[in-house]
Amino acid sequence: MIRIGIYNNKGGCGKSVASINIAYAMSQAGKRVLVVDCDGQRNTFRFFSDEPDDGSFRRTRYDNIDIMCHKAYLPDAYDYAILDLPPALNANTKKILSKCDYVFVPIELGTFAISGIANVTETIAATKTRFGGCFVNKFDRNNPSDYELDKMLRKTLVNKVMVTRIPNSRVIKNSISYRQTAFEYMKWTSGAKAYTTLAYEIMGICNKGGLE
């Protein structure tokens, strides 16, 4: 099983929504996925399950996805585990990061977010976990500034920025309100397709041993 952390020390960058949609896309590719909600808000857990957290894993309405909240032991009978980490930089977060095989970082474009990415990558490096890459989230195609900031990010991190960009999309926002993935809600939209592309890009990076 490959353990994949979705992490940023900044809240509101879309970690939980990304974890949900990446897990779903992987499941649709025939992979068995365990989603692990490590965030105290439990938003990801509540998306998948109406039952209270008792420390065990739960079956979900999706055939290939199970959900659990974080604990020391993770069952190994899955292809991938997606760990939705809390937006914190503390000993507990570092401990969880150290259990991951790869960590991927969603980033919402902005000068403060880009300047802060160094702290995130340094934290990941300190845990000896592989930095799989960062992906641009909530990309506004109608905003010239986003293109400039995207260019700045890629110049700063070079090949550590993933090809896939997740668009700023009402479909993604509304789908969560209806407890649906973006693909279930409107599969023909750019937002839904982007998460599928991102999931395949993540699987490709993990399977070849990281970005070059």
- CA nearest neighbour of 137 among 155, 124, 125, 149: 149
- pLDDT for 2-56, tens place per residue? 999 999 877 677 899 999 999 999 999 999 999 999 987 888 999 998 887 776 7
Q: What's the structural domain count of the chain? A: 1
Average pLDDT for the chain: 87
Instruction: Please tell me the distance from the alpha carbon of residue 168 to that of residue 170, in angstroms, as a whole number.
Output: 7
- pLDDT for 52-89, tens place per residue? 777 677 889 998 999 988 766 777 889 999 999 988 77
> Does residue 167 contact residue 180 with C-beta atoms inside 8 Å?
no
Q: What is the share, in percent, of the chain residues with pLDDT greater than 90? A: 43
- CA nearest neighbour of 133 among 212, 51, 54: 212
The residues, any chain, with a CB within 8 Å of residue 16's CB and separated by 6 or more, are 39, 41, 43, 44, 47, 84
pLDDT surpasses 80 at 115:
no
Share of the chain residues as helix, strand and coil, in percent rounded to the nearest 5: 45, 20, 35
- pLDDT for 42-51, tens place per residue? 889 999 988 8
CATH number at residue 133: 3.40.50.300
| pLDDT for residue 22 | 97
pLDDT surpasses 70 at 111:
no
Q: In Å, how far from its chain's centre is CA 147?
A: 22
- pLDDT for 128-138, tens place per residue? 899 999 999 98
List the structure tokens of 85: 């980490």
Domain, as residue range, for 50: 2-208
| pLDDT for residue 90 | 82
- pTM of whole model > 0.85? yes
